[in-house]
Amino acid sequence: MSSGTPVLVDLKTITKQNGETSKYERKFKGQVFQMGNSMYLRYNEDDSQESAIVTFKISFDGGIQLIRKTNDMRMQLFFEDNKRIAAVYRTPYGEIPIETVTPVLNVTIDELPLVGNVAINYFLYSNGELLGEYKIRLQFVG
């Protein structure tokens, strides 16, 4: 799997901000590859406004790192069970300090056949203020 395995990615997100809930659901073609003690899932998220490269780094010791890059911004989030973790959101206007708190983090991966399920519930903060509550449900199949 080190050279990369093509997968179909099914992504669902639920966002709660300012008392409003929004849902997002899309399917993408991606790749999974393994390096060291981590598995990487990468796909291109094309939408009408912009294109983003999304990478999930799934560490076998339990943590997940999410990187989302476009031409002019880079967001890197870290998820570990019930830990508050600082990160930085780089925008054309400067860097914004952010933090995640992850009450739910579940990952299951089977290699034959290749199937993975990721469930992340997290709170996003900036400068101590709650920006929103998020749920990511991700499934990939090789």
pLDDT tens, residue by residue, 2-48: 468 999 999 999 999 999 999 999 999 999 999 999 999 999 988 66
Q: What is the amino acid identity at position 53?
A: I
Cis before 92? omega within 30: no
Nearest to residue 2, comparing CAs of 55, 28, 38?
A: 38
- 1 has a pLDDT exceeding 50: no
Q: Determine how β-strand 20-35 pairs with β-strand 5-17.
A: antiparallel
Q: Which residues have CB under 8 Å from 81's CB, separation 6+?
A: 62, 102, 105
Token pair for residue 105?
């983090």
> Could you tell me the CATH number of the domain that includes residue 126?
2.40.128.20
At residue 112 the predicted structure's pLDDT band, cuts being 50, 70 and 90, is confident
Contact predicate 32/40, CB 8 Å: yes
Q: Specify the number of domains making up the chain.
A: 1
- What is the predicted pLDDT for the residue at 2? 46
Cut 0.95: pTM above it: no
- Mean pLDDT, residues 85-97: 94
- What is the predicted pLDDT for the residue at 113? 87
- What one-character-per-residue DSSP string does 63-74 give? -EEEEEE-SS-E
Domain containing residue 22: 5-141
At residue 60 the predicted structure's pLDDT band, cuts being 50, 70 and 90, is confident
